[in-house]
Structure 1
Amino acid sequence: MPDGCTIVAHGPEVFDAGDIDTVSAALLPKEIVVAGVMARTAAEESGFPCRFNTRPPSLVFRHLPSGTEAWLLNRGKTPASGEEFGRIVASRCDRPVYHIECSSRTIYGWNGADPRRTGEAARRLGYATVLLTADTRAPDTCVREIRGCIPGEPVFVNGIVVGHATAETAIIAPENGGVRAVSGITLKPHGTEKLLRGGPVDLSRAWCKSGPVRSQTAQVADRRTPSGRIAVIDHAACDIYSMVDITTCGVVSIGDDTTAVCGHICAHLGIPIFGVTDGDADTVIDHSCCAGSVIVEVTEGRDDEKGLEIAETVPAAPCHWDQWVAATLRTRTDIRIVRDAR
């Protein structure tokens, strides 16, 4: 039965809500693989033993050894969004997908999953069982539906906020390498500009979601040593774990939402940030940061250009964070401090 399986845990909620403890005790997995950036932060804070993988769950499934029985663990924002997420993952996998959806207390068996295995897992957890089939054909590249939205919340494409939902389903389509609104969404021009900076978007394979990236506040750790290397994150907070290591003494983050996410993640790592913003934040996460952090707002132009100018002054060699921050604040006349945690 499920004993000895691999659990692919998606999203921070399964750690924040304690689902990982319940499911692990019931299914006795051989291994837990954490898919995603914010899920890794929540897992590290929980102290639960896991292996980390920054790829989306469908790619994690594809790269597991042949014969591995893998179970997707998820807690959707709503039961409908949880089921839809499982459908998307299953449609991109080349194997049956066993999906534990904690928001609705349901075990989904996708694309020929063994009903005996889903039934046994459901019995152990006290969940319901549903067997479904997800379309594994190439998706329609003309449109992309993001379901389970709550009107007013941010909508992400590849980690960039491109707009705000106006209906339960936001529909976007490709246009000139970027995206255009079809229905259920108001696009944010600055967001689509940021998206295009990463090159043309394959909307059929893009990572799309809506809502905050995490609802729980960060656990703020003691600050690490102020001497080391400074990392720069330019509107791509999803890259942060590949950019920081034990030698990192601080992070320069460019963009309002990027600064919020970097501050949250770096807070539990004990790494201060220097956030460059221009006041167009979308409240994607709480604004946590550890001691030594400074967040500034540009008084001329936009954070894109000013942030890159500041990033160019970051030394390639190890330096002292506090001294670099003080020198930057002293020499720049086009920024003002909006938060100072020194």
Structure 2
Amino acid sequence: MFLFEIKRTKMKIGIVIHGPEVIDSGQAEKVLEKLSRLGEVEAKLGGTMGKTAVLDAGLEGRIDIRDHQKPSACIESFFENSYLVCLINRGKTLETGKTFGKIVCSHLREPEKKPLFQIEYSETSVTGFQGNVCGMLVPLNSKGRECLEKVSEKLCIPAETKPLSYPQTGSIFTEKCPKTGKTRIFRKLSGVFPGENILINGIVIGRANSPEVKIVSENGFITTIEGGIIKEHGLEKLHCYEKKEPVDLENAWIKSGSVRRSAPSHQKLSKPMPKTVDLKPTPLNGAGKVVLIDHAAEHSFELADGAQLAVTVGDDTTAIAGDILYRLGIPILGITDGDCDDLADRTEIFPGSLILRLAAGNDDIVGKKLRQELFDGQISAVFEDIPALKEEVLRLAEPETEAIFEY
């Protein structure tokens, strides 16, 4: 009955796209085209680097990138007015991709409300299904089985018949230390490869040396990375230096590896940004909004809304935020000191930007000084004279400046 209704009335299909990799590969666009033959398709995306991939692919008219929502929130919004919801992902392996699907489902309030699928295009081929394939259709609830065969046929990928079990168990557990009385939280990571960076809330706090990694915290402070090496300076940033702010490890955003593992397809590289953006730098004269992006590159789209200039603090932040803002036509004034974790490559910087290279260990110090003295402790402000602001930044950073790069 369900399939007959879809065919007859063109039921609405909600698609949630996670991460840039499935967009860069061209697979997300193919899913949109194929499922549009089955019903009326609406697509949303969560995650900053996914937004840059959407712009690179020229899909901003087909995929909604206005909101900054987690995949589970996007799914629940589609549950209200869709008859079928699909989560598209491209994991490092099929198993890590399916683990991601379990985690997303564990956050749903009513996971059985509508038929829900995961379309997993792993970066390694899947064997055992009439040869090697790179995609798998996975039902995420029991209702998904109602239309499993039809969706599998439309997408031309095999399907698993058994829904994933959820919520995920064993990834987070707590205990009270008998000696100190402090509450310890253990969070196990999945899909980690040795040598990868480990990030919490966008900040690199260590590097994995094993595929089995657990992060341990006591009363909100990270103490150990089992299967990895801690980066002390990263922990200082995470806990806000002398403020020593605790972190909710259970609900923190954690990932391993780089922020964007893939590159746009060859055909799309000739269009680096939306046609509405002119590559010629706009003279920064007079008043305008300036934002301070300090180790929060993943929120660059939202932070830079309406800005004429962005001051970025940190090597990776400058690379990632600069690449994002390049697509929006916003120049940056970057504060770096050579401490780069290589979270992104193939990045672009908008013409008219300046990058300062400071003596080692000084980007955070200068960034803090800029926030206090120029931004009154805030992350954005309207300045009457932007060129004068740039000169003031250069003056404050001058004692530690080793080089200046112009774009």
Q: Which moved more, 1:18-27 or 1:311-320?
A: 311-320
Structure 1 letter corresponding to 2:165: A
Separation of aligned partners in 2, 1:72 and 1:199: 34
Matched, 1:243 2:303: yes
1:298 pairs, out of 345, 351, 358, with 358
Match of 1:333 in 2: 398
Q: Which moved more, 1:83-92 or 1:193-202?
A: 193-202
Q: Which moved more, 1:325-334 or 1:183-192?
A: 325-334
Q: Contact (CA 8 Å) 2:103, 2:168: kept in 1 or not?
A: no
Deviation at 1:59, TM superposition (A): 2.2
| SS, match of residue 253 in structure 1 | strand
Match of 1:233 in 2: 293
Separation of aligned partners in 2, 1:4 and 1:293: 44
Structure 2 letter corresponding to 1:136: P
Matched, 1:51 2:64: yes
Matched, 1:78 2:125: no
List aligned pairs for 1:97-116, cutoff 5 A. Answer: 97-103=116-122, 104-116=134-146
TM-score relative to the length of structure 1? 0.90
Matched, 1:132 2:175: no
**C-alpha deviations, 1:109-141, integer Å up to 9, x for none?**
123242132322221122121233333278535
Deviation at 1:329, TM superposition (A): 2.4
1:23 pairs, out of 16, 25, 31, with 31
Deviation at 1:335, TM superposition (A): 3.1
Structure 2 letter corresponding to 1:47: G
Q: Which moved more, 1:166-175 or 1:139-148?
A: 139-148
Separation of aligned partners in 2, 1:156 and 1:300: 21
Question: Structure 1 residues 300, 159: CA separation in 2 closer, same or farther (over 3 Å shift)?
Answer: closer
Task: State the superposition RMSD in angstroms.
Answer: 2.5
TM-score relative to the length of structure 2? 0.76
1:40 pairs, out of 47, 51, 58, with 51
Separation of aligned partners in 1, 2:402 and 2:151: 53
Separation of aligned partners in 1, 2:257 and 2:88: 19
Separation of aligned partners in 2, 1:155 and 1:331: 32
Question: Structure 1 residues 176, 275: CA separation in 2 closer, same or farther (over 3 Å shift)?
Answer: farther
Deviation at 1:200, TM superposition (A): 2.5
**C-alpha deviations, 1:265-316, integer Å up to 9, x for none?**
0111111111212322110002421112222233275322211212433593
Separation of aligned partners in 2, 1:302 and 1:40: 31
**Which segments of 5 or more consecutive residues in structure 2 lack a partner in the other structure?**
123-133, 175-184
Match of 1:257 in 2: 316
| SS, match of residue 334 in structure 1 | helix
**Which segments of 5 or more consecutive residues in structure 1 lack a partner in the other structure?**
none
Separation of aligned partners in 2, 1:194 and 1:250: 24
Q: Contact (CA 8 Å) 2:318, 2:334: kept in 1 or not?
A: yes
Separation of aligned partners in 1, 2:135 and 2:146: 18
Q: Contact (CA 8 Å) 1:234, 1:254: kept in 2 or not?
A: yes
Separation of aligned partners in 2, 1:59 and 1:107: 21
Q: Contact (CA 8 Å) 1:88, 1:134: kept in 2 or not?
A: no
Deviation at 1:87, TM superposition (A): 1.4
Deviation at 1:251, TM superposition (A): 0.6
| SS, match of residue 340 in structure 2 | coil
1:62 pairs, out of 69, 73, 76, with 76
Separation of aligned partners in 2, 1:132 and 1:216: 32
Deviation at 1:188, TM superposition (A): 0.9
Q: Contact (CA 8 Å) 1:90, 1:134: kept in 2 or not?
A: no
Deviation at 1:330, TM superposition (A): 4.6
Deviation at 1:79, TM superposition (A): 2.3
Structure 2 letter corresponding to 1:60: C
Separation of aligned partners in 1, 2:245 and 2:300: 19
| SS, match of residue 398 in structure 2 | coil
Q: Contact (CA 8 Å) 1:34, 1:40: kept in 2 or not?
A: yes
Q: Contact (CA 8 Å) 1:98, 1:113: kept in 2 or not?
A: no
| SS, match of residue 374 in structure 2 | coil
| SS, match of residue 334 in structure 2 | strand
Match of 1:88 in 2: 103
Structure 2 letter corresponding to 1:117: C
| SS, match of residue 209 in structure 1 | strand
Deviation at 1:327, TM superposition (A): 4.4
Separation of aligned partners in 2, 1:335 and 1:127: 56
Question: Structure 1 residues 63, 128: CA separation in 2 closer, same or farther (over 3 Å shift)?
Answer: same
Deviation at 1:224, TM superposition (A): 4.3
Q: How many pairs are equivalent?
A: 341
Match of 1:209 in 2: 255
Match of 1:189 in 2: 232
| SS, match of residue 30 in structure 1 | strand
Match of 2:147 in 1: 117
Separation of aligned partners in 1, 2:404 and 2:56: 24
Q: Contact (CA 8 Å) 1:99, 1:109: kept in 2 or not?
A: yes
Q: Which has the larger radius of gyration?
A: 2
Separation of aligned partners in 2, 1:192 and 1:113: 43
